[in-house]
Structure 1
Amino acid sequence: MAAPRVASDVEAGLESVFPQELGLFADVFPTETRYQFCGHELSIAQHHGSHLGVAAPVWEAALALCDYFEKQKLNFWGQKVLELGAGTGIVGILAALLGGDVTITDLPMALKQIEENVCRNLPVECLTRTKVCALSWGLDHMEFPSNYDFILGADIVYLKDTYPSLIGTLQHLCGPLSTIYLSSKMRQEHSTALFFETLLPTHFTSKLAFRDENENINIYKVTRKNNT
């Protein structure tokens, strides 16, 4: 993609990523699923249907990242955290429960679902340090600061046309002391490996932190290069 696309163009392309027969894009139907991570029980609403599309469900890569936080005993207390392409918001919500000052972002159409899940799961003391707002990669990332301690993304690398915009957004958000965690299903048909093995290392220092062979999910720990 030579230039950033408007958010509606990105949304229009999402339906080509996953097959329609998954049943996620037919009539609107809400579901609720409970998860246990880091001693917290999360109740996550998912509003499946054509409006949210792939933003509606909790994807396995998000669960893998939450599980990684638990196994690594990560503590976000007092840290400034941003989640990209949050969908349900489960990753950012867990980061808030683990003490983070969290900004949870996605395209505008996903914000209502995220806000519902934030209200479902966060006590008042966490709500006061949690924000939900729109962020369209390559369009309005300049409205956000460049000093986040952690930038999180789960299954946000699946639409090839968005890769340049995502790289540009990460470049802006990632400060010298930032750590990025990206969890992704490694879908060959969507050139996911191209992003992580070719595009990302051009601009960032990246290493594989965890791999789930059964689910074909990789978690990468990414930092800013000294010369960027």
Structure 2
Amino acid sequence: MMQTQVEEHLWSVFPMDDGLFSDYYTEESSYEFCGHVLKITQIFSADLGVAAPVWDAGLALCQYFEEQKTSFCGKKVIELGAGTGIVGILAVLLGGDVTITDLPCALKQIKNNISANVPSSCAHRSQVCALSWGRDHGRFPTDYDFVLGTDIVYLPETYSSLVQTLQHLAAHRATIYLASKMRREHETLLFYEEILPRHFQCQLLCRNEEQNINLYKVTKKVLENRD
């Protein structure tokens, strides 16, 4: 996601009088998925903004991996807009070689959470990198097995850039998992039902009505044989 766009729209997405990011403080929370207890530190501040919390959509994707008994052993994985890094960290613990990305302001938080949760024996299977959608995705390879993203569809101004980045990262064989709170005011449904299907096949895997969260499996379109 482009940093300038986040800065311009952060307080319109989460109004300043909500008080969510107005003061600097940290919060530690524990979550258990797939037999692993994840201790995640969240750094709430105006600098981190929406990258600070563990969002419900991220927990929903972790829960899906648990229910499906997912293994990423031998798989190449990248997470977009990672925030705290909880999803990417779980993917590392499930055997993946994982690149966890976000804007530069969030990287320290991610690295700290990796250090707290990933044993030294498998730390080599994780790396943290800055990635601005639509701008520098060309620095990353195109042969990922999985692309992960949770609650990254909330600014219509970034949707085109996000699609460009997904097209690059999933150019070959990647399966994309996206979990989102379906916020009407952010046209999230439009992204999944109109914008993304122009470029990918999109399958709704499950929906949490209570939390208004959808989980999608997204894959490259198969070209039809017109012989």
TM-score by length of 1: 0.95
Is 1:221 matched up with 2:210?
Answer: no
Moved more, 118-127 or 81-90: 118-127
Deviation, 1:13, is 1.5
Separation in structure 2 between the aligned mates of residue 57 and residue 134 of structure 1, nearest angstrom: 18
Aligned counterpart in structure 2 of residue 82 of structure 1, from 78, 82, 99: 78
Q: Equivalents in 2 of 1:189, 1:87: separation in Å?
A: 22
| Percent identity of paired positions between Structure 1 and Structure 2 | 61
Superposition misfits of 4+ residues, deviation over 6 angstroms: none
Cα shift at 1:124: 1.0
- Pairing of 1:22-61 with structure 2 (within 5 A): 22-61=18-57
Judged with a 3 Å threshold, the aligned counterparts in structure 2 of structure 1 residues 155 and 6 are, in CA distance, closer, same or farther, namely closer
TM-aligned CA deviation for residue 6 of structure 1: 4.8
- The residue aligned with 1:176 is 172
Residue number among 8, 27, 43 corresponding to 1:12 in the alignment: 8
Which residue does the alignment assign to 1:96? 92
Q: List aligned pairs for 1:106-125, cutoff 5 A.
A: 106-125=102-121
Cα separation, 1, equivalents of 2:33 and 2:43: 22
Corresponding letter in the other structure for 1:116: N
Name the counterpart of 2:136.
140
SS in 1 for 2:177: strand
Residue in 2 that maps onto 1:203: 199
Report if the CA contact (8 A) 1:10-1:162 is conserved.
Answer: no
Structure 1: gaps of 5 or more residues: none
Q: Which runs of 5+ in 2 are unaligned?
A: none
Offset from partner CA, 1:157-181 (integer Å, 9 cap, x none): 0001000000000000003321000
Give the letter aligned to residue 125 of structure 1. S
Equivalent pairs, count = 224
Q: Distance in 2 between matches of 1:22 and 1:98?
A: 36
> Does 2:91 align with 1:64?
no
TM-score by length of 2: 0.96
